Amino acid sequence: MIKGKKMRISNLIMIGGLLLVPSCVSTPKKVQPPKKPENNPLIIPFNNNFDFKNIKPGHIAEGTDYVIAQAEFIKNEIIQIVDGARTYENTLVRIDDIYAVIESVWSPAYLMGSVHTSEEIRNEGLEASKSIQNYMTELSLNEDLYNAVVAYAANEEAKGLKDFSKKFLDDLLLDYKRIGFTLPKDKREKVKTILDTLTDLGLEFDKNIRSAQDTLFLDELDLAGLPDNYKKERLQNNGKYAIDMTYPSYVPFMDQAESDKARKALRFKFNNRAIEKNIEVLNDILRNRMKLVNLLGYSSYAEYRTEDRMAKNPKNVWDFENDLKQQLREKAENDVAEMLSIKSVRLGRETKTIHPWEAGFYENQVKLKKYNLDREEVRQYFEFNNVTSGLLTIYQRLFNVRFEKVQNPSVWHEDVQMFSIYDNISGDLIGNFYLDMFPRANKYSHAAAFSVIMGKMTENGYQKPVTALVCNFPKPTDFQPSLLTHENVETYFHEFGHLIHGVLTTSPLISYAGTSVARDFVEAPSQMLENWVWQKESLSLFAKHYETGQIIPEELMEKMIAAKNINSGTKALQQVFYGIYDFTLNDGFDPDGNKSTTDLIKELKNKITFYPYQEGTHQQASFGHLNGYGAAYYGYKWSEVYAQDMFSVFEANGILNPETGLKYRKIILEKGGTVDPYELVKEFLGREPNSEAFLRSMGI
């Protein structure tokens, strides 16, 4: 998952179309250059590093005020240019400069709102994000700035633009239509009000999920099947065991605990996180999305969101999801039959249902019974530091770069590490990244790459990109080091793919830097890089026993690879369910109609997946993607088609082939959003994309 703010008007509000030229221009107010704050850890010289360790309450708010004032100054400079004197550099590039100025505090502030240990600073980071998003909404609705773009678009230089410069102008014009510039001014004001409301609601939705703390207290008997170290880490003074809602606690329990009753109780709690607040917040988000598209003339929020993406329209998404659902059905039926066979033997009677709190457990049982594959045995070979070292080795070899750990960096928590990336050929510094990999209270609870600084060409040279990778892998304890599941390792490679996409960018514009690509393509480069955790050649570089140092045995690797597609059908159907649920909410669903968001999740879960809905749960309350990925969750599977097609080139040429890796870096990673992603994929493949590799990857 990528957490960042794609810096273009459409990327803020996710919209696109044609424009009408308004008849008048108001006189902009004079704004003096703002005075730079002193000793603020977020206001730094060009290509320096943020002093995260010394952020204090007030710094984020001060930095936010400063960059908004800077942005206002640049905006007014643009507006005051005489129309006949407009150029690409003094109008369009300066608009991109506004985004860069805003991003310089927005990204680190948003990150601090998600990871800092101080509640005061976290809240200040979230408030800053809210203020900046509201400012960006105002900026996107500024009629004078719009007139400046339209005036430039009419001149001869604009008509001769090529490549990413032309694309940037076209995208801006498209964005302005989608923000409502074909509407009367009173309706544009309503659009602004709705967008501000959606910003506030989205931040509230995410905050409620982060703040949702719950724990299930169990007796030792309920933990049968779990490793001793897992139990030791959770034993309380009163003899009870505390199972919280973090992934290192939740996932192993659901996969290994023998008690159906305990798993059912834990899943009930897990899928009712944030229920007290977020059901209504989600309804409010849906209501305001409907108001927005009604004003803008779209039939649904889904139509509005897909227009400027690879999918182009809702029909293409529905066709994709429904076709995939049918293709997966037979494989999913076989997956469930394998689990039912084991469950029937275990219970001593025939059974016809796998409940959702049983899915992980019986999938694990299939691995044990059919392949003799023990997840605990596998974990012994994936110690966090070994995996990190191997991952860095693979990425360095593929992309012709060198990673160097930064000593004594200024970071927000003692667990955080910092690295620099250098180009192997030139030796030049490309950028930096942070790793914040272990759970703690009130930290962002999933796995995602957060932009910290985005790439951009400036008069001082190229702005070096910086990304932070935030995960929640098991933390080392007194009992054992951090041992990752194979799924954790896959997540690590995936999220690092987002990180490398962000840092290796060479886009001249921040608007297209790194992961600022079509939202239904953004996962593809990361999904492709998951494949390296399934290949013997790459596994042998880092999978070694945490005690003996022995490389993972060939026999165990073969079992893992053979078991790769266990439940690939049911898992993919689950993703189709998430995508269809999200898309349905945004394509005709009425939160004030006869059907609630819970009614819908129940109906679709029973219809699409083979696991019946668990009564009394409200998964949508903690389904964070419904905010940031609204009407866009389909993109995970959509982009996977392209991911597997791209990986087929590495399969043919060698998974550690440096020429193929460098070609991928140059064509896919460096270009970011400067070129349509379909054209980039086609260039890398040397042919039209297809879905053959995607279906083959799931054993279909």
| Mean pLDDT (whole number) for 35-41 | 94
Predicted local distance difference test score (pLDDT) of residue 5: 52
Predicted local distance difference test score (pLDDT) of residue 26: 39
Predicted local distance difference test score (pLDDT) of residue 601: 98
Query: Is residue 219 packed enough to be buried (19+ CB in 10 Å), middle (13-18) or exposed (0-12)?
Result: exposed
What would the pLDDT profile of 473-496 be if each residue is shown by its tens digit?
999 998 889 999 999 999 999 999
pLDDT at 459 over 50: yes
Predicted local distance difference test score (pLDDT) of residue 698: 86
Predicted local distance difference test score (pLDDT) of residue 210: 87
pLDDT at 20 over 50: no
| Mean pLDDT (whole number) for 1-24 | 41
420 — phi, psi (to 5°)? -110, 150
Distance (Å, rounded) from C-alpha 590 to C-alpha 350?
41
Predicted local distance difference test score (pLDDT) of residue 373: 87
* Confidence bin at 30 (pLDDT 50/70/90): low
Q: Residue 477: what residue type?
A: T
| Mean pLDDT (whole number) for 216-228 | 96
pLDDT at 31 over 80: no
The whole-chain average pLDDT of the chain stands at 93
Q: Is 17 left (phi over 0), alpha (psi -120 to 50) or beta?
A: left
Q: Count of CB atoms within 10 A of residue 674's CB?
A: 22
Q: Are 78 and 147 in contact (CB under 8 A)?
A: no
Q: Which residue has the higher pLDDT, 422 or 212?
A: 422
- Torsion angle of the four alpha carbons 364, 365, 367, 369, in this order, in degrees rounded to the nearest 10: 170
pLDDT at 19 over 80: no
Predicted local distance difference test score (pLDDT) of residue 129: 94
| Mean pLDDT (whole number) for 430-444 | 96
pLDDT at 148 over 50: yes
What would the pLDDT profile of 626-651 be if each residue is shown by its tens digit?
998 899 999 999 999 999 999 999 99
Distance (Å, rounded) from C-alpha 130 to C-alpha 139?
14
Q: Which residue has the higher pLDDT, 25 or 164?
A: 164
What would the pLDDT profile of 237-274 be if each residue is shown by its tens digit?
999 999 999 988 999 999 999 999 999 999 999 999 99
* Confidence bin at 17 (pLDDT 50/70/90): very low
Q: Is 470 left (phi over 0), alpha (psi -120 to 50) or beta?
A: beta
Alpha helices, DSSP H, located in 298-444:
301-306, 314-347, 359-371, 375-379, 384-399
Distance (Å, rounded) from C-alpha 364 to C-alpha 438?
24
Residues 6+ apart with CB under 8 A from 403: 392, 395, 396, 419, 420, 421, 422
pLDDT at 12 over 50: no
Predicted local distance difference test score (pLDDT) of residue 637: 94
What would the pLDDT profile of 74-118 be if each residue is shown by its tens digit?
999 999 999 999 999 999 999 999 999 999 999 999 999 999 999
Query: Is residue 137 packed enough to be buried (19+ CB in 10 Å), middle (13-18) or exposed (0-12)?
Result: buried
| Mean pLDDT (whole number) for 198-224 | 94
Between the two ends of the chain, the Cα-to-Cα distance in Å is 26
Q: Are 68 and 136 in contact (CB under 8 A)?
A: no
Catalytic residues, by residue number, are 495
* Confidence bin at 158 (pLDDT 50/70/90): very high
Question: What is the bridge-based pairing of β-strands 241-244 and 401-405?
Answer: unpaired
pLDDT at 18 over 60: no
Q: Which residue has the higher pLDDT, 284 or 372?
A: 284
Record the pTM. Answer: 0.84
Q: Which of 511, 675, 678, 682 is nearest to 167 (CA)?
A: 675
Q: Are 417 and 451 in contact (CB under 8 A)?
A: no
Residue ranges and CATH numbers for the domains of the chain are: 2-185 (1.20.1050.40), 213-267 (no CATH)
Calculate what percentage of the chain has a pLDDT beyond 90.
88
| Mean pLDDT (whole number) for 344-359 | 97
pLDDT at 452 over 50: yes
Distance (Å, rounded) from C-alpha 305 to C-alpha 315?
12
pLDDT at 9 over 80: no
Distance (Å, rounded) from C-alpha 529 to C-alpha 3?
18
- List the structure tokens of 331: 């494989």
